[in-house]
Amino acid sequence: MPVLARSFEKAGFSTILVTPMPYWAEMVGTPRTLAIAFPFGHTLGRPGDEKLQHSVISEALDVLENADSTGTIVHSEKTWPQNTQEAIKSWQPEEPSPIIAELAPKFREMLRQRNQPK
């Protein structure tokens, strides 16, 4: 999605990206980013939590309004109200995605080899 932010910015719009993955935003190079430590699929908060959604949006709009140079990444202080292991489990699909199902065995083998003592 950082690629889309760049495309729209280039087309003449002022963009703000809210993302749990500033790593990717930085690697691709996005104009204005609010990084937030929320699980995937929950960029603006929990379902039904209007207060939290408004609060994240408000932080993002502050970045949009106040960033004075391109490549600005602001890290939100907000934390997710669920422990990390539960959150990792709950955002993922019940069945692994097709690419994970296909590549997981290869990656596991690769990680196994990498972790073997030299």
Partner 1 sequence: MPVDSFQYLPRLIATFYQMTEHEPEHPIPWTPLPRPISECKFSLVTSGGIYHKDIDPPFDLDRERNQPTWGDPSYRALPINISQTEIGVSHLHLNTEDVLQDMNILLPIQPFQELVEAGKVGALAEHAYSFMGFQGYPPDTTEWQNTYAPEVAGKMKTEGVDCVFLTPA
Q: How far is the C-alpha of 74 from the C-alpha of 63, rounded, in Å?
A: 7
Nearer of residues 47 and 117 to partner 1, judged by Cβ: 47
SS3 label, residue 114: helix
- Residue 69, CA distances (Å) to 40, 50, 82, 84 in order: 27, 31, 35, 33
